[in-house]
Chain A
Amino acid sequence: MATKAAVSVSVAASITAASSSSSKFVINTPHRFLCLKRLSSFSSFSASALAIKCTSISNCSPNKSARSMEGFTTRTRASAQPLENASELIASVETFIFDCDGVIWKGDKLIDGVPETLDMLRSKGKRLVFVTNNSTKSRKQYGKKFETLGLNVNEEEIFASSFAAAAYLKSINFPKDKKVYVIGEDGILKELELAGFQYLGGPEDGGKKIELKPGFLMEHDKDVGAVVVGFDRYFNYYKVQYGTLCIRENPGCLFIATNRDAVTHLTDAQEWAGGGSMVGAICGSTQREPLVVGKPSTFMMDYLANKFGILKSQICMVGDRLDTDILFGQNGGCKTLLVLSGVTSLSMLQSPSNSIQPDFYTNKISDFLSIKAATL
């Protein structure tokens, strides 16, 4: 089995923990980024070598302007500019990566002007990719959601963190005779199955109960070689214990997180505790930090850049969250556009405690249509 020794993973220092103020929105979150440095002896997932370089991770402490991380220097970023020349931005990139929640839809409601905007970009020959940290659905299931909303999006253009977890295991040649324990929902299970991995856990363990009484021993499968943790509405003590036992007692067992979002917009009306909560729980019991495959880790960026043969400088990342979407784009060396149609407001962006500055910001993606109509 590919042990952690075989895949050298350097994990960048975390962003400083949030202050304990009761302000609703806190930018600085503790994150561990998955930064992969592949050894050439490993065969890759696709036929061509998947060269994932050790990427620079920007450390967004508000007190530091320029930091040097592992030989890279992150420049002091100028404040985000309102998007005034959409055609110029469109012309300067080849690919648009869109986050979904708060950018394309909110809950199950499409945001105004999205279909026309996507059509316009496609008509200009732009490649469109959708990258979401939401691990509850598989790519196929997301494809159906897009279809239901009347959007013409191919499954191959969608990269959910559920897919990322399976793709990561594939990229390290996770042995097929090992199993994966899942604290998460159906999307993760489906992607693992598609990738040919055996899994345990998932929603059905949500009904399992524990009785803490003398003589009771919880057994766990010694063949579990990885625990994947993501957003889980069926979270319970049984799963926490199972995952904890695997990580603590199975030699070399990996601890993988789909993402660490603190809150998520499951319904359009309010915020809901996100994957960061479940992942936090396992960190708390194992005292280990996970490998994060979702944003802001650049794993998915590296994966799709390699898959489609695109240069990251030719990409614009469009998202509504500073500490996942925009950081993801910046970590990957892309242009970044923040939309205010999701969780981030203008005042949050401009708050002195915020140090993540996208290149541009605008209200919503359909602004591409109205701001200086693009002519190429």
Chain B
Amino acid sequence: MEQVSMEATNPNPSSMSGVAAASAAELLCCANARALLDSVDAFLFDCDGVIWKGDKLIDGVPQTLDMLRSKGKKLVFVTNNSTKSRIQYANKFQSLGLSVNQDEIFSSSFAAAMYLKVNQFPPHKKVYVIGGEGIVQELQLAGFTALGGPEDAEKRAQWKSNCLFEHDKYVGAVVVGLDPDINYYKLQYATLCIRENPGCLFIATNRDSVGHMTDLQEWPGAGCMVAAVCGSTEQEPIVVGKPSTFMMDFLLQKFNVSTSRMCMVGDRLDTDILFGQNAGCKTLLVLSGVTTQSTLDDPSNSIKPDYYTNKVSDILSLLGE
């Protein structure tokens, strides 16, 4: 499989000067919603802030997804949230009353495992994880040995003169994702692996600064943990999640659809919309998540989606279905 280049993501939308000056985003309305539907065969949905907020489904989502499926549209869910594996996400969808297959889900946890697979990561090497169960599970499913993860949540370092902080010399990659159990032990372990194990890879599932981990407020995202490791290693990671288009290769394998007939629907400009644009898809920003109208309209923002609307279910209501 062709190795897709990983651009280190820049979380600041205003400095993405590589994006051609785009015309202003169009507010979704009856006319252009119909046109969008007709021109697209597959919808790619982000999850946090689009489908759900924390563990609460956003209004009108199930009906909208049903309508799209009934019109023969393929649905795919591409999420940067690495805390769950694809199987765990399928379970979450199910518990919220949505019928979504594991094969339709592309989480950044899956992306990390796939990156190692396509780059022939040696089976005798190990992977140290700063992140949740999702990453550990996907690595194990792909046949790799994972260290760290939730297991290291309660570990503490020792500071005595004669105590050496040990780390496994066989760790050949460190994968960093969202980790609400982040602690000094994990940072130190990852730092030693990256700085001292020759050729050790530093992989980030994603670099989102914040996200809606609960319905009521935003919380620091993987961008926080990744930047912590950048700070101690003075190295930039390989980013496998949005806006890197690494996952697109897997999507294209699954569907016989050209990216120009796909629409990426997301709530973040610098990950979702940029991902869509980088891959040549149409893009629809929803304001039900981290981005507000004023952020979109701010002069410092240079990422303009093709369309924007309040929430996913607007697609349904605008079509008068």
Contact = CB atoms under 8 A, between A and B. Distances in A.
Given A266-B159, A267-B163, A285 B209 contact: yes
B236 A217 contact: no
Nearest to A271: B195
30 contacts: A17-B234, A20-B202, A210-B180, A214-B55, A214-B214, A215-B214, A215-B215, A216-B216, A234-B184, A235-B182, A235-B184, A235-B187, A237-B179, A240-B224, A244-B220, A260-B231, A262-B231, A262-B234, A263-B191, A267-B159, A267-B160, A267-B163, A269-B164, A270-B165, A270-B192, A271-B192, A277-B228, A281-B224, A284-B207, A285-B223
A277 B226 CA distance: 9
A312 B161 CA distance: 37
Given A22-B200, A212-B54, A214-B55, A236 B183 contact: yes
A368 to B, nearest CB: 27
B280 interface: no
Interface in B142-195: 157, 159-165, 179-184, 187-188, 191-192, 194-195
A241 B231 contact: no
Nearest to A272: B188
B196 interface: yes
Given A212-B213, A266-B159, A281 B228 contact: yes
B88 to A, nearest CB: 15
B225 interface: yes
A315 B233 CA distance: 32
B222 to A, nearest CB: 8
B231 A276 contact: yes
Given A237-B182, A240-B182, A218 B217 contact: yes
A260 B230 CA distance: 11
Contacts of B165: 270, 272
Interface residues of B, number: 56
Interface of A: 17-20, 22, 24, 26, 28-30, 107-109, 210, 212-218, 232-237, 240-241, 244-245, 260, 262-263, 266-274, 276-287
Contacts of A267: 159-161, 163
Given A267-B161, A277-B187, A285 B224 contact: yes
Contact of A241 (B160, B179, B187, B220): B220
B230 A280 contact: yes
A273 to B, nearest CB: 4
B251 interface: no
Contacts of B220: 237, 240-241, 244, 281, 284-285
Contacts of A232: 184
B233 A262 contact: yes
Contacts of B160: 267
B221 interface: yes
Contacts of A260: 231
B33 to A, nearest CB: 31
Contacts of B200: 22
B216 A18 contact: no
Interface in B115-149: none
B56 interface: yes
Interface centre among B157, B207, B210, B215 (most CB of A within 10 A): B210
B183 A212 contact: no
Nearest to B188: A273
Contacts of B219: 212, 241
B229 interface: yes
A115 to B, nearest CB: 20
